[in-house]
Structure 1
Amino acid sequence: MKLNSIGLSEKDSKSLSEDLNELLANFQRYYQNLRGIHWNIKGKRFFELHPKFEELYNEANLNVDEIAERILTLGGVPLHTFEDYIESSKVPVGKNITKDEEAIRLIVDSLKELLVIERRILDASDKSGDEGTNSMMSDFITGQEKTVWMMKAWLAEEI
């Protein structure tokens, strides 16, 4: 087995980079959704939700950068065009969402898609001995699970 400069299998690193690019594309769509609902939210809960959506998109933006840098660390090239993101993402598109419940549901549905990808990457990175990617996925999952719980509580729904 041939190892790369950080001591991981080149084959595993290539595969993980591809998986991380899928996550990157989905995170970019999630980020754009958050920007859209931040800009377009209306109604009595505007002052509550507008800053919350800003907090979430700032966090998503940081995660996008972390994912891209991890791809580079593994020897890959991060996707960086909207065309690539559209082709590679499963996160639902939120267009012209102005209602509070619809916006919160979009966040929950988006995070569900991200969590599925992240759990798959977590499993693969664990099998590869890639602690850097594993730790990142674990942190993302922990934070996103909490966000889902809070959003579901706001909707008065069970997990």
Structure 2
Amino acid sequence: MKREQVLNQAVADLSQFATVIHQTHWYMRGNGFLTMHPKMDELMDEVNEWLDEIAERLIIIGGSPYSTLKEFAEHTKISDEIGSYDKLMTDHVETVLSGYRYLQGLAEEGIEAADDEDDAVTEDIFIGIKAAVEKKIWMLSAQLGRAPEIK
């Protein structure tokens, strides 16, 4: 994928992932609620910061970020499902963890694409996101009693 394509893919995916996290925030119940509920606010804020940074970078290099719900839905690779109060807290965490694992791979694609096009700034943005994503993978995996299994 070219650099602009990866950036726009990230726009669609980060928009969708913020919604997935928000749904988790609304629908979680059970053991760990008091710590995980505010944690979802923190995660959403960070994802939205990445989204803004990625979209602005795309504009700076002459691209046009997706900006409608239709475009996000048509282009995202992060799936969604109807919210449910019946889902266990661990299942909610698994859903969020899965999104971060996907973003880890997308960040790697962004790093490669930016490097191929000698764009150190975009590469640096994706490196920063990848580092933060891997930390979230570690933390959410630990919440589930597992090792992060970062490659």
TM over 0.5, shorter chain: yes
Instruction: Verify: 1:113 aligned to 2:140, yes or no.
Output: no
Report what 2:62 is aligned to: 75
Report what 1:40 is aligned to: 27
Q: Deviations over 1:76-126 (max 9, x none)?
A: 011011111111111121431443111111111111111111101101111
C-alpha displacement of 1:152: 0.7
Asked if the contact 1:37/1:97 (under 8 Å) is kept, the reply is no
Asked if the contact 1:29/1:89 (under 8 Å) is kept, the reply is yes
C-alpha displacement of 1:151: 0.7
Higher Rg of the two aligned structures: 1
C-alpha displacement of 1:130: 0.4
C-alpha displacement of 1:157: 1.7
Report what 2:90 is aligned to: 101
Taking the aligned partners of 2:82 and 2:132, their CA distance within structure 1 comes to 25
Instruction: Verify: 1:21 aligned to 2:8, yes or no.
Output: yes
2:19 is paired with a residue whose SS is helix
Report what 1:133 is aligned to: 122
Report what 1:7 is aligned to: none
Asked if the contact 2:21/2:44 (under 8 Å) is kept, the reply is yes
Q: Percent identity?
A: 25
Taking the aligned partners of 1:121 and 1:44, their CA distance within structure 2 comes to 37
Following superposition, which runs of at least 4 residues in structure 1 exceed 6 angstroms of deviation? none
Give 5+ residue unaligned stretches, structure 2: none
Report what 2:111 is aligned to: 122
TM-score, length-scaled by structure 2: 0.91
Taking the aligned partners of 2:82 and 2:143, their CA distance within structure 1 comes to 22
2:124 is paired with a residue whose SS is helix
- Name the amino acid aligned to 1:150: M
- Name the amino acid aligned to 2:78: V
- Name the amino acid aligned to 1:22: Q
Taking the aligned partners of 2:118 and 2:84, their CA distance within structure 1 comes to 42
TM-score, length-scaled by structure 1: 0.87
Taking the aligned partners of 2:66 and 2:106, their CA distance within structure 1 comes to 16
Report what 1:9 is aligned to: none
CA RMSD, 1 decimal: 1.5
Instruction: Verify: 1:147 aligned to 2:136, yes or no.
Output: yes
